[in-house]
Amino acid sequence: MATVTTVGSVSDGSRTTVADMVGNPLMIPAKIVDLLNNAFLTDVVFRNAGGNSNGLVGFEENTPLFLAGDVEDVAEYGEIPIAVGQRGIARVAVGVKRGLGVRVSREMRDENQVDKVNLQIRQLVNTMVRSEERVLRSLLLASTAIPSIAATAAWTGTTSKVRRDISLAQEKVTTAKPAAEVSTEEYLGFEADTIILPNSIKAVLQDNEEFLKVYNTTPEGEALQFRGTMPGQVLGLDPLLTRFWPNDRALVIQRGTVGFRSDTRPLEATGLYPEGNGPNGGPTESWRTDTTRKRVLGVDQPLAACWITGIQAA
């Protein structure tokens, strides 16, 4: 039977030296791109609106998900009515190029410092993810059209009503209406399916009796507080935890609806090249690879989200 080797870094599998990495310029950038695939929270939260050629995307904010007319009874031989679509407020989002590079020195190559190379790859990946999540956080916080509710009490306290707070935020999303709508029956048509939480809240919820009492056991029969995990769903919402989120608030959203992403330049990493184009890595005796992307992000349905503020100290 053939032996299967799991490759988790550039040094796994058959023995790979730093000289091999320098000699194969695509080895390190290929690993960087592979580790970054599906690593960004924006790729989960925002829908892919396709590419753009000039770094500008026009969009409409708060466009209703229903036609302006309603379905009507039609008599025999009667003309079927037609309804027009509704439009939101015109906006424009601008793309931003972001990037970062890492080096492999001649010393790393000559002394075969594989661990240093792997560490730099991991640091680059973590830094790119952190940067993207900070951009997402800033974009959502800057969108003043996103409504918010205050938690009944900090979730760290014994008087907190975690499930009630989340339910109220879900209701805020579900009952969102067009700005000019006065009817009690017209809604934008959103359904919350996701909650984004700061990673620090996990320990808080593990000690919150009001929250835990509806999650007595996991399918394996072991209480959540002993497993140290979050439930698979929280009141029907998929929980997303991130370390780069405001500690004092959570965001309930309809994933793929609240905003969009559009790449002018998709994520790429250049082949390893010598700095200065000289022998042995040029005058700095080093080789580098640059990871970049130019992306437009926009919040076009802010009412498909609702902040819950004051869940714990900032």
More confident residue, 85 or 247: 247
Q: What is the pTM of this model?
A: 0.80
User: What pLDDT, in 10s, does the model give residues 123-160?
Assistant: 999 999 999 999 999 999 999 899 999 999 999 888 88
Residues 6+ apart with CB under 8 A from 286: 103, 104, 105, 106, 274, 275
Is residue 49 a contact partner of residue 57, using CB atoms and an 8 Å limit? yes
CATH 3.30.2320.10 at 148-258+302-309, yes or no: yes
Checking if the pLDDT of 228 tops 60, the result is no
Q: What residue ranges do the domains of the chain occupy?
A: 18-65+87-143+260-297, 148-258+302-309
Checking if the pLDDT of 38 tops 90, the result is no
Answer yes or no: same fold for 18-65+87-143+260-297 and 148-258+302-309: no
Checking if the pLDDT of 7 tops 50, the result is no
Q: How many CB atoms lie within 10 A of CB 6?
A: 6
* Residue 287: strand, helix, or coil: strand
User: What pLDDT, in 10s, does the model give residues 109-123?
Assistant: 999 999 999 999 999
Farthest-apart Cα atoms in the chain, separation: 86
Checking if the pLDDT of 10 tops 80, the result is no
Instruction: Give the pLDDT score at 221.
Output: 47
Pair of tokens at residue 181:
């709508």
Checking if the pLDDT of 225 tops 60, the result is no
Instruction: Give the pLDDT score at 165.
Output: 94
The CATH number of 18-65+87-143+260-297 is which of 3.30.750.24, 3.30.365.10, 3.30.2400.20, 3.40.1010.10? 3.30.2400.20
Sheet (strand 249-253) strand order = 148-150, 305-309, 249-253, 194-198, 238-242
Q: pLDDT-derived band of residue 72, with 50, 70 and 90 as boundaries?
A: confident
User: What pLDDT, in 10s, does the model give residues 267-296?
Assistant: 999 999 998 888 889 999 999 999 999 999
